[in-house]
Amino acid sequence: MTRLKPPIRVPCMAKTIRTDAARSFLVAGQIIAAPATAPGLYLVATPIGNLGDISLRALNVLAAADTIACEDTRVTRKLTGHYGIATKLTPYHEHNAASARPQLMARLAAGEIVALVSDAGTPLISDPGYRLAREASAAGYVVTAVPGASAVLAALSLSALPTDRFFFEGFLPPKEAGRQKRIAELARIPATLVLFESGPRIGASLADLAQGLGAREAAICRELTKLHEEVRRAPLEALARDYANGAEIRGEFVIVVAPPPDDIAPAGELDALLRQALGRVSVKDAVGEVATATGLPRREVYQRALELAKEDGDGAAP
């Protein structure tokens, strides 16, 4: 395999810059010179697992850039090292954004090329990059995207669920009360839901989603594009049981949940169904029966059942 020579560096006004000879990348053993690139801020998508999932345009921009702003230099260095890219890496993440952003803006003011990447996938999705993009745009600098891999879109395409309309939620609140409150707010959104989750919290989140969203189809996408990629498709309740019973929790997860059914019962019909069920069975059993029949979230049905029981003078406990 042809090896890259160390980057050529020359002194220039008390600082060191790379010459055009160093603006190159390595593909299939071939050194490719990066073409001239206009100054500005480039939002560059990077692979979400498989290093082969990067475009030639992205490699051109990363090699041509004066600096690559990234969440974790150790993660991005694996990518740049794999492709023989010598561009300097600059940390830019939620903990240093306030101090790092003015430095990146100064680079743009000096006519440099700044590439912004996240640890994986498309930048600005669940990271602080939008503030830099907004400030650079407001200042009149060129801001453009170099599209590519996205965990959100990959999971949607693999889910076998409706993709004509979707709502990206990102990560749910880590604490149970906050998570359940947010799920209740998501319950009536007429779109497929896409959420991120970590391994340690996947079981608890699925249990709350099953309780709060009712009988919906869902897909769990784990380690997308990586060696151990896995996709599980089943009703939320079944997936929650799987992860409560010891399903693999290592890796990174995307949860995709089908939209609410079109025929959700209106309030009057819900009340009639609940009163009918409450006349035969306990509150708990009535809630389960009606939630299954209507597709409404169990928590919402339970709350209405308690209200009806109180109105009708039946204070029976579930």
The domain segmentation of the chain, as residue ranges, is: 9-149, 152-257, 267-311
**Quick one: pLDDT band at residue 58, thresholds 50, 70, 90?**
very high
Residues in the chain: 318
pLDDT at 185 over 60: yes
Q: State pLDDT tens for residues 285-313.
A: 888 878 777 767 777 788 888 888 777 76
**What local confidence, expressed as pLDDT, does residue 267 receive?**
54
The mean pLDDT value for 71-96 works out to 95
Q: Residue 82 is encoded by which pair of tokens?
A: 């794999």
Domain 152-257 matching CATH 1.10.3720.10: the answer reads no
Give the CA dihedral 114, 149, 91, 8, nearest 10 degrees: -50
What sign has the CA pseudo-torsion 225, 179, 250, 235? negative
- Lookup result for tokens 């509150």: 283
Residue with the larger pLDDT of the pair 12 and 58: 58
| Least confident among 124-133, 166-175, 249-258 | 124-133
Q: Residue 100 is encoded by which pair of tokens?
A: 């790092």
pLDDT at 62 over 90: yes
**What local confidence, expressed as pLDDT, does residue 11 receive?**
33
pLDDT at 183 over 80: yes
Measured in Å, how far apart are the chain's first and last C-alpha atoms?
70
Separation between Cα atoms, residue 253 and residue 198, nearest integer Å: 6
Q: Using alpha carbons, select from 201, 314, 312 the residue that is nearest to residue 250.
A: 201
pLDDT at 1 over 60: no
Separation between Cα atoms, residue 36 and residue 108, nearest integer Å: 16
Separation between Cα atoms, residue 166 and residue 218, nearest integer Å: 13
**What local confidence, expressed as pLDDT, does residue 184 receive?**
86
**What local confidence, expressed as pLDDT, does residue 4 receive?**
42
**Range 9-149: architecture per CATH:** 3-Layer(aba) Sandwich (3.40)
**What local confidence, expressed as pLDDT, does residue 20 receive?**
57
Mean pLDDT of the chain: 87
